[in-house]
């Protein structure tokens, strides 16, 4: 099973998939040499997605999980037309955030690419007449997370600058519309308080992947909750292997320990 992202963000999806699918062998590719996708033109993102998928199929992948909202927005339709195997993508979790019925407005954090893309704009139009929704592009955050910053002063200062016009608003929900942003829950809580609820598409995507693999007969019948073992997961990257691969191991280990 192939899963990829522009870097380490997709590990947040991989952790959910690995819990649900302990019998599946995952090969994770962090395209950190070309990160961040959210600041690249569509043609370049599409080219990377096609090349990575072709390589994963060559290595024997029976399905592909695109663990990146930006890559999904820009490339998944072309990928599905070109490749016959199951391909599952991401979508910002705006629908569950709206359906949660929380009283305050909703803040959606995403890459500039995801926020402006027709795919997200169509999703936004479905709900904007029933709920106060603010969509905020967040440049620079992916770069900091890729460099290993998660809850330090450099990241917090950048996050505070991005959100300076929003800190006084009484948001009840924050949609993490980039898989990298799941790592930001603690610094976001420090800015907005413990009452704010977070929504991301990771668990729903992992469930959709499970459903599709079952329908295609690509799973064993008895799936049980996964232990914290990473024995069925391998990593590769287009970035600095001495930095990215150890970071993948550390981040995934942390993610597998928590359901938050």
Instruction: Give the residue carrying structure tokens 């996964």.
Output: 226
The DSSP call for residue 137 is: E
Instruction: Give the residue carrying structure tokens 């320990």.
Output: 257
Q: Cα 137 to the chain's mean position, in Å? A: 15
Cα separation of 166 and 104, whole Å?
A: 13
Q: Cα 141 to the chain's mean position, in Å? A: 13
**Alpha helix ranges (H) inside 128-240:** 141-146, 153-162, 185-192, 202-215
Q: How far is CA 248 from CA 18, 55, 206, in A?
A: 14, 20, 19
Q: How many CA atoms lie within 13 A of 48 on its CB side?
A: 27
Cis peptide before 177 (omega within 30 of 0): no
Rg (CA), the chain: 18
The answer to whether 217 touches 21, Cβ cutoff 8 Å, is no
The answer to whether 172 touches 104, Cβ cutoff 8 Å, is yes
The catalytic residue among 49, 138, 178, 248 is 178
Separation of first and last alpha carbons in the chain: 25
Helix (H, G, I), strand (E, B) or coil at 66: strand
The catalytic residue among 49, 68, 138, 248 is 68
The answer to whether 169 touches 3, Cβ cutoff 8 Å, is no
Active site residue 178: yes
Active site residue ranges: 68, 178
């Amino acid at each position: 099973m192939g899963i990829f992202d522009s870097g380490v963000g997709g590990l947040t999806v991989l952790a959910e998939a690995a819990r649900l699918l302990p019998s599946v062998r995952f090969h994770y590719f962090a395209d950190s040499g070309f990160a961040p996708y959210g600041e690249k033109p569509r043609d370049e993102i599409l080219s990377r997605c096609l090349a990575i998928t072709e390589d994963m199929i060559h290595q024997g992948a029976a399905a592909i999980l695109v663990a990146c909202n930006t890559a999904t927005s820009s490339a998944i339709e072309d990928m599905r037309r070109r490749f016959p195997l199951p391909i599952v993508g991401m979508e910002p979790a705006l629908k569950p955030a709206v359906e949660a019925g929380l009283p305050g407005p909703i803040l959606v954090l995403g890459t500039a690419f995801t926020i402006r893309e027709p795919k997200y704009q169509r999703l936004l139009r479905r709900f904007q007449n029933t709920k106060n929704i603010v969509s905020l592009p967040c440049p620079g955050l992916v770069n900091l997370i890729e460099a290993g910053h998660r809850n330090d002063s450099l990241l917090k200062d950048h996050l505070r600058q991005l959100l300076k016009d929003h800190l006084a608003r009484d948001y009840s929900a924050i949609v993490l519309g980039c898989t990298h942003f799941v790592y930001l829950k603690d610094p976001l809580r420090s800015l907005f308080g413990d009452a704010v609820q977070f929504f991301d598409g990771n668990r729903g995507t992992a469930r959709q992947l499970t459903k599709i693999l079952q329908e295609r007969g690509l799973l064993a019948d008895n799936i049980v909750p996964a232990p914290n073992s990473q024995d069925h997961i391998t990593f590769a990257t287009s970035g600095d292997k001495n930095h990215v691969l150890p970071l993948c191991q550390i981040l995934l280990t942390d993610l597998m320990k928590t359901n938050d």
